Chains A and B, each alone.
Chain A
Amino acid sequence: MRALDRFWLAILVLVPVLALLVLPPFGQRMVILVGIYALMGAGYQLVFGQLGALNLAQGALFGVGAYSVALLAPSLGAAALLAAPLVAALLAMVVAGPMLRLQSHYFALATLALASLVNLVAVHAEGLTGGANGLAGFTASLPRGPVLLIAVWLCLIAAIVLQARLLAGRLGVQARLLREAPLMAATLGIDGGRWRLAAFAIGAALAGLAGAFSATLSGVVSPEATGFSIMVLCLTSVVLGGARHPLGAVLGAAIAVCLPELLRDLQGAWLLAYAGATLLMVLWAPEGLAALIDRWRGVAAAPQVTAPSLEILPPARGPRQLVLDGVTKKFGGVAALQGVSFTLNRGEIVGLVGANGSGKTTLLNVVTGLERADGGTIALDGTRIERLPPHAVARAGVGRSFQTLALAGDQRTTDIARAVATGAVFLLLDEPAAGATDRERAELARLVDRLRLAGRGVLIVDHDIDLLSRVCDRLICLDRGAVIAEGTPAQVRADPRVRASFLGLEQDAA
């Protein structure tokens, strides 16, 4: 997400100020409503926009906030407005914790089931919620009119400015990685689970706050507040306004509130028009209205980040040895790794060779925590890491690059640079030279030399045994998941079993 520029900040502040000075009470009410929907939308942007998770419970959490304030205001007074977002966030964290690991379609379903459950409780738990009649008569101690307007818009401005500021930096990059390349995010040390939980909880708190304000404004709460139509309104307004633009939620909410007034003669038709506009937006301008306006204003898209230089590498600190002992991994009945043991020291370059399907990439996946080993131990200086999640392995000092067959030179270097930039002591490079030109191979060899000088330990997986022989101190040869030879490049290349399993191909070709 881009930082908030002056243009948008001015709009954000001018709307409530002008509303207070100029508009009649009815107009102020509309501005309050815009603020309320925008708050809910701003929370939704975090989960849907930043993490790309289709959360269908935001509307229900809005309702939870509304009911909380209706139930708590008689005893807590205005403090109920603070309690409501806490209730919503708590509910989200308790229920959503285990749901956040689900893949997109299951996540959508789980949140939809949660929302339906909340709606059922609202309709049928009459003792608590007043059933279909809802609750009323709780607003005596709550703010109203201009005070409410100020409260709503202050919360909204705070939420948007904070979000934009936080996401403009490191956190925004992390969110983008989690959204677009979750595996890579994990191997770079980003804890996706914690991130998602935090986003979900904050999003829920904002929805709860919006619901609480909405109940305060209308003075009644009915099951409609938890209904799916609120959810659809939230989703469509965020998409229409721009799911990742700081002002997207505000713009979407403004249209959602003003459109029915403009099309008042057409009754229900405004929702039809609104949904239609959303569909067109998804098809032709997925970045949303706010981004479109930015383009008309001539504001450039988010700046490109230049790849970090790999010329100067700081010396690495941390563990001295990566030790694998008897690591096994089975996929169904196939033993992908059968008791693999070796040691990688700091300042050492080791090449891992083997035919296709010999278990090289599986080994990297097991070491970096993407796959869980079935047996054996993996340790950094005696600290066991074989049961840690990928982000924790990365933080402990093991970085990796991925197979990047389709990428051209610069992007390939970027992938390695990314792993190096985590500061990892041990780097696992998966086929860094596959499809590379001769010049790129020479570049790679120089980079590996610099990594050695900087005290990193490097494990390179590749088919190019000539390249590996030149840059590596030792070679390890895998065959059907087991180490069949280990030693200096010359020793390994001379080993008859290696020649049979791997180099045989090369001799045929030569």
Chain B
Amino acid sequence: MAYALVALGFVLALNAAGAVNFAHGDHVVLGGAAAVVAGLWTGLPGLLLLPLVALVLAAVGILAARIAILPLATRPPEATFVATIALAAMIEQGLTVTMGSAPHTAPPLLGAGAFEIAGIALGRQPVAIVVVGTVLVGALWFLLERTQVGRRMRAVASDRHMARAVGIPVARYVVLSLALAGTLAGIAGLLLGHQFLVAPTQGAGHMLKAYIAVAIGGWGSVLGALLGALGIGFFETFVSATVGDAWASAALYVAVLAILILRPQGLFGEPAGRRA
């Protein structure tokens, strides 16, 4: 479910920017790091830190949009790729310098322990992740499909020239999308940070999984990204149970290469046609 949040943020940023945001994975790590630091200072449980982390990462998203995405809007997408890769390296190195490269644990959402439902023990953290994730996905769906702001965001995503022509302040909505993407990434970082720890070098891995989810789910499709992320989660869980983590990842990459080569339009097609 946390993958889904990462992938959703990724696809929002992708649609708004018209190019891959390579720093997205590092936003996730940054979210985890913010949770670690805030947890150390305040000692509060994750659930109360969540709004704080969300705010901090929204600011980071705005910053990313202002320095690495908006100024490059008129250039080929490769320019944005490079700029965000540089941004990602800056975040990673910045975190390494300030936190050290050793992993840290983010505070749990509701404290450790397990619920017992009908005789089956469920860890509190996984349950909390699923609940928070579902709520956020629902909220995002409502925002995009049921509000004027969401309609405008989708308009900017599908055709920014047309959106500008009908009077939508495009730059403002790009920044808003990136802020939202940052928020989702930050919350995902907080959720993942308890179970899987937080280390500066994780960013590339998060980014790659979101990238894969979006590519197999159909480029730019929000629903596709959600399904893709859940698919990757299941794939990893089942395959790693049989052959171990490393080879599960290897199998995932091989599968992705095969999909890209055999079905270059993604598993569910590419509704928006050519886009880069």
Contact = CB atoms under 8 A, between A and B. Distances in A.
Contacts of B264: 101-103, 106
Interface string A95-128: 1001101111110111011101100110110000
Given A103-B274, A110-B261, 20 more contacts: A52-B78, A98-B261, A106-B215, A106-B219, A106-B264, A109-B211, A110-B257, A116-B249, A117-B253, A120-B249, A124-B246, A232-B85, A239-B82, A275-B90, A276-B90, A279-B83, A279-B87, A279-B90, A282-B82, A286-B79
A54 B211 contact: no
In the complex, which range does the number of interface residues on chain B fall in? 35 or more
Interface string A408-446: 000000000000000000000000000000000000000
A307 interface: no
A106 B260 contact: yes
Contact of B208 (A105, A116, A239, A267): A116
Given A236-B85, A268-B96, A272-B97, A105 B250 contact: no
A228 interface: yes
Interface string A248-285: 00000000000000000001110110111011001100
Contacts of B238: none
B70 to A, nearest CB: 11
B135 interface: no
Interface string B265-276: 000000000101
Interface string A220-263: 00000000100010011001000000000000000000000000
B97 A269 contact: yes
B256 A109 contact: yes
3 cross-chain pairs, A with B, having the tightest CB-CB distances, nearest first = A275-B89, A272-B93, A279-B86
A120 B75 CA distance: 34
Nearest to B71: A283
Interface of B: 19-20, 67-68, 71-72, 75-79, 81-83, 85-90, 93-94, 96-97, 204, 208, 211-212, 215, 219, 246-247, 249-250, 253-254, 256-257, 260-261, 264, 274, 276
Nearest to A116: B253
B267 to A, nearest CB: 13
B211 A112 contact: yes
Contact of A282 (B86, B204, B256, B257): B86
B207 to A, nearest CB: 9
Which one of B89, B90, B94 has the highest number of Cβ atoms from chain A below 10 Å of its Cβ? B89
Interface string A51-64: 01010000000000
Contact of B81 (A54, A228, A271, A279): A54
A99 B260 contact: yes
A279 B67 contact: yes
19 contacts: A54-B78, A102-B264, A103-B276, A104-B77, A105-B219, A108-B81, A120-B249, A228-B204, A232-B89, A239-B82, A272-B93, A272-B94, A272-B97, A275-B93, A278-B86, A279-B67, A282-B72, A282-B79, A283-B67
A114 B85 contact: no
B127 to A, nearest CB: 31
A108 B260 CA distance: 11
Nearest to B81: A54
A391 to B, nearest CB: 20
Nearest to B200: A268
A99 B86 CA distance: 25
A271 B75 CA distance: 26
A220 B233 CA distance: 36
Nearest to A123: B246
Nearest to B20: A105
B257 A95 contact: yes
A266 B94 CA distance: 12
Contacts of A276: 86, 90
Given A103-B276, A106-B260, A109-B211, A283 B85 contact: no
Contacts of B83: 279, 282-283
Contacts of B276: 103-105
Interface string A31-65: 00000000000000000100010100000000000
A104 B208 CA distance: 15
A76 to B, nearest CB: 29
Contacts of B211: 109, 112
Contacts of A105: 19-20, 77, 215, 219, 276
Contacts of A101: 264
Nearest to A278: B86
Nearest to B205: A116
Contacts of B246: 120, 123-124
A228 B92 CA distance: 12
A275 to B, nearest CB: 4
Contacts of A123: 246
A504 B264 CA distance: 45
B68 A279 contact: yes
Contacts of B256: 109-110, 113
Nearest to A274: B89
B160 to A, nearest CB: 17
A239 to B, nearest CB: 5
A124 B247 contact: yes
A495 to B, nearest CB: 37
A110 B260 contact: yes
Contacts of A274: 89
B217 to A, nearest CB: 12
Contact of A275 (B77, B79, B86): B86
A51 to B, nearest CB: 10
B86 A117 contact: no
A426 B276 CA distance: 34
A104 B67 contact: no
A113 to B, nearest CB: 4
Contacts of A268: 93, 96-97
